[in-house]
């Protein structure tokens, strides 16, 4: 993985401390061309990996990348799934069958049969495979070396103790997409313990890591202890703690932290992108 990864929260009106900023971002990035303009600025600044949800607008972004293979030859995407709001909205607008036709690849009747049998048998692995295939449809032809399970699912499975699900997800993305599995979580210590326990060694885990403990279940001291053991390939996200920490201070802490392999950040202007990269490189 690259040392610096670029995220997408700013494009889809995700701001953890300001509804006003969220609305402004939603207006600014309603056009996919505006998103692509910022991505081009990130690429010009040296970014080679975009870690993104499977929001509908990413379909357009993938289309632009496919149309310009030489320009984006070294650009990689790390899909994060599932994007729950997409399916909820589609069911509301299109109904269950309409949603399945829209998002799930393959023969619709075969898919319904497989999904129905999976539900009847409580075969969560089969349902997971359907959802992964549905989400990966948009990335066809684009390098996706790591595929992430979103924290809303990761932490739910973790809480339910359905540990075999992680093994199944890990195996499926390797076999079907020749990719490594990644896991996003708000509880790095617990997740790492469980993944190691089911035989997934040095997993790729993306977790909130910052100097004030924002969204770090178990606390800073435990995180630092776990990271120092270097039993996972860790991506630090939410390093600014939703704006509670000044950028220089935030990036200095996480850049110097032993055990952090990559740093994920989002920005919506060229200057903020360049400043963030400069801080990370300065404190490395």
For residue 154, pLDDT over 60 is answered with yes
Domains of the chain with CATH codes: 4-86+145-282 (3.20.20.100)
Nearest 5 degrees, angle CA 134-CA 136-CA 138? 95
For 14-25, what is the mean pLDDT?
64
Q: Over the stretch 86-133, which tens digit does the pLDDT of each residue have?
A: 655 555 576 655 655 665 555 544 554 555 555 544 567 888 898 899
Q: Over the stretch 60-74, which tens digit does the pLDDT of each residue have?
A: 999 999 999 999 999
Range ranked top by mean pLDDT from 20-24, 80-84, 100-104, 215-219: 215-219
For 206-222, what is the mean pLDDT?
97
Could you tell me if 191 and 156 are in contact, meaning their C-beta atoms sit under 8 angstroms apart?
A: no
Q: For residue 109, what pLDDT is reported?
A: 45
Buried b (16+ CB within 10 A) or exposed e, 157-167: bbeeeeeebbe
Q: For residue 103, what pLDDT is reported?
A: 59
Q: For residue 83, what pLDDT is reported?
A: 78
Q: For residue 108, what pLDDT is reported?
A: 44
Q: For residue 24, what pLDDT is reported?
A: 74
Mean pLDDT of the chain: 88
For residue 36, the surrounding DSSP H or E stretch is helix 32-44
Q: Mapping DSSP to helix (H, G, I), strand (E, B) and coil, where does residue 79 land?
A: strand
């Amino acid at each position: 993985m690259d040392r610096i990864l670029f995220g997408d929260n700013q494009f889809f009106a995700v701001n953890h401390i300001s509804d006003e900023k969220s609305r402004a971002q939603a207006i600014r990035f309603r056009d996919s061309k505006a998103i692509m303009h910022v991505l081009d600025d990130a690429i010009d600044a040296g970014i080679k990996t975009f870690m993104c949800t499977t929001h509908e607008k990413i379909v357009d972004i993938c289309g632009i990348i496919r149309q310009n293979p030489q320009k984006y030859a070294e650009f990689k995407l790390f899909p994060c799934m599932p994007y729950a709001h997409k399916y909820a909205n589609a069911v509301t607008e299109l109904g269950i069958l309409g949603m399945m036709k829209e998002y799930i690849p393959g023969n619709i009747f075969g898919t319904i049969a497989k999904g129905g049998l999976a539900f009847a048998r409580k075969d969560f692995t089969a349902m997971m495979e359907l959802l992964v295939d549905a989400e990966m449809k948009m990335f066809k032809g684009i390098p996706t070396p790591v595929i992430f399970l979103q924290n809303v699912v990761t932490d739910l499975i973790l809480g339910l103790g359905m540990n075999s699900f992680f093994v199944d997800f890990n195996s499926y993305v390797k076999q079907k997409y020749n990719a490594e599995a990644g896991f996003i979580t708000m509880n790095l210590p617990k997740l790492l313990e469980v993944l190691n326990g089911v035989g997934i060694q040095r997993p790729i885990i993306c977790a909130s890591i910052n100097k004030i403990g924002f969204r770090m279940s178990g606390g800073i001291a435990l995180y630092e202890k776990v990271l120092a053991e270097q039993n996972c390939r860790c991506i630090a996200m939410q390093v600014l703690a939703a704006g509670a920490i000044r950028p220089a201070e935030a990036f200095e802490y996480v850049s110097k932290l032993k055990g952090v392999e990559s740093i994920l950040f989002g920005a919506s202007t060229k200057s903020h992108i360049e400043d963030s990269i400069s801080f990370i490189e300065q404190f490395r």
